[in-house]
Amino acid sequence: MKYLHSRELIDMDGRKVWAFVGDGECDEPETLGSISKAGREKLDNLIWVVNCNLQRLDGPVRGGNGKIVQELEGVFRGAGWNVIKVVWGGRMWDPLFDKDEDGVMQRAMDELCDGELQNLTFKGPPAYTRKEFFGKHPELAKLAENLSDEDISKLNRGGHDPYKVYAAYHKAVNQANGKPTVILAHTIKGYGFGAAGEAQNTAHSLKKLDIDTLKAFRDRFGVPLKDEELEDVPYYRPAPDSPELVYMKKRRQELGGFYPKRNKDCQPLQIPELDIFKQVLEGSDGREISTTMAFVRILSAWSKTSASASASCLSCRTKPVLSVWKACSVSWVSTRRKARSTCLRIVTRSCTTGKTKRVRFCRKASMKTVPCPPGWRRLRHTAPTVSR
């Protein structure tokens, strides 16, 4: 998207790319393997939402002995991302934070590992939370002395508080500081399942709920269904003129309409004549060449045609493809400096659109001799001076 917008092929201004992943998925190498590239390329149109429910298919994340939210925060910040943490629900926790003048509650929260957080829900919120969390310090017990069991049960996680989630999304969409953004939302596995699966790893394989659990779920979230209707576990659909559906349809229209949809209007691709590949088709006169070199020759010939203007995209800079950069180049957002030990190289990256050729970047490097520490071999070093 950034590439297309930078080359003015499509106006992507204001659009975002969203990715929704879990904290367990972040253990997979391919999930976090390339996040540094997003920070390096300043992809501020990219937003990740990581559902930190502290559970994986094979058990608790980190065995319950770590703090995965803080761990992921360090990983993403180190890769150059904005990090927004949505840890504690606001409507019940915030008043307690306001009363916590000495920061005792904050310190107690910081000391909790993920396994202990799971137990606050799994072992029954009112009694267990009152004893094992608020009972740790006299100051905390005083904060909770006026809280009923129902109040303690409503002390939810930030990822289940729609106000906190909305605030996080609003900030992620509107902060334009040249960095991608990740939202680390603390949630509970099996939220709403109660004793049947809430905060339990078995929630992964939970297929059916008994009638009592369904009634509790209905009452907890205010679903307008009668007892006799719950037997068939029906889908609930608000009325067409209800505030919920009116709002959802309005937002859908503002975002471009319903999907999926078929668009019959598209820009046709111009197929070049086969003659432009004559040099490649005639062979290499018996000389062995690599497949990369053969491909570069094809790409170089094709990039000189007008057909390549809107369809070309080079994802990286490697030595064999330097010959095609002047006709077709990638628009790099971040400042790149390539040090050369004995030469001066000026790279001109251009963009051809129709009959208009516009220079994208021009970088000049000046040669200087840099003092070396004793015992080091003296080399010619490039101290780049970058201009655009």
Long-range contacts for 167-170 (Cβ within 8 Å, ≥24 apart)?
168/84, 168/86
Question: 67 CB contacts (<8 Å, ≥6 apart)?
Answer: 113, 114
pLDDT of 368 above 90: no
Identify the pLDDT of residue 306: 62
Instruction: Compute CA distances 143 → 92, 97, 99, 137, 210, whole Å.
Output: 12, 9, 7, 10, 37
pLDDT of 314 above 60: no
Identify the pLDDT of residue 328: 55
pLDDT of 343 above 80: no
> Which secondary structure element, helix H or strand E, spans residue 22, and what is its range?
strand 17-22
HSE at residue 91, side-chain half, CA atoms within 13 A, is: 10
Q: How confident is the model at residue 245 (pLDDT cuts 50, 70, 90)?
A: very high
Q: Find the mean pLDDT for residues 112-141.
A: 86
Both structure tokens of 350: 């251009």
Instruction: Report the alpha-carbon angle 301-304-310, nearest 5.
Output: 115
Q: How confident is the model at residue 335 (pLDDT cuts 50, 70, 90)?
A: very low
Q: What is the chain's mean pLDDT, rounded?
A: 79
Q: Find the mean pLDDT for residues 217-231.
A: 90
Q: Find the mean pLDDT for residues 214-223.
A: 90
Instruction: Report the alpha-carbon angle 127-220-105, nearest 5.
Output: 40
Long-range contacts for 195-202 (Cβ within 8 Å, ≥24 apart)?
198/121, 198/122, 199/118, 199/121, 199/122, 200/122, 201/55, 201/59, 201/60
Question: 148 CB contacts (<8 Å, ≥6 apart)?
Answer: none
The burial class, CB within 10 Å (0-12 / 13-18 / 19+), for 3 is: middle
User: Rounded to an integer, what distance in angstroms lies between the CA atom of residue 291 and that of residue 311?
Assistant: 22
Task: Provide the β-strand partners of residue 56.
Answer: 59
Q: What percentage of residues in the chain have a pLDDT greater than 90?
A: 26
* CATH 3.40.50.970 is right for the domain spanning 2-254: yes
Identify the pLDDT of residue 321: 57
Identify the pLDDT of residue 179: 94
User: Rounded to an integer, what distance in angstroms lies between the CA atom of residue 339 and that of residue 131?
Assistant: 62
Question: 196 CB contacts (<8 Å, ≥6 apart)?
Answer: 190, 206, 209, 210, 213
Find out whether 29 and 75 touch, Cβ atoms under 8 Å: no
Q: What share of the chain is helix, strand, coil (3-state, %, to 5)?
A: 45, 15, 45
Q: Find the mean pLDDT for residues 198-222.
A: 86
User: Rounded to an integer, what distance in angstroms lies between the CA atom of residue 326 and that of residue 303?
Assistant: 9
Supply φ then ψ for residue 20, to 5 degrees: -115, 115
**Beta-strand relationship, 356-368 and 59-60:** unpaired
Q: How confident is the model at residue 347 (pLDDT cuts 50, 70, 90)?
A: very low
Instruction: Compute CA distances 138 → 105, 108, 112, whole Å.
Output: 11, 12, 17
User: Rounded to an integer, what distance in angstroms lies between the CA atom of residue 109 and that of residue 125?
Assistant: 15
pLDDT of 171 above 90: yes
pTM over 0.75: no
pLDDT of 246 above 80: yes
DSSP 8-state assignment for residue 271: P
Both structure tokens of 371: 């003092």
Placement of tokens 């053969």 in the chain:
294
DSSP 8-state assignment for residue 321: G
Domain boundary assignment for the chain: 2-254, 274-385
pLDDT of 117 above 70: yes
Tell me which amino acid residue 245 is: L
DSSP 8-state assignment for residue 267: P
Q: Considering all CA atoms of the chain, what is the largest pairwise distance in Å, rounded to the nearest integer?
A: 90
User: Rounded to an integer, what distance in angstroms lies between the CA atom of residue 313 and that of residue 330?
Assistant: 6
Q: Which of 176-180, 232-236, 350-354 has the lowest mean pLDDT?
A: 350-354
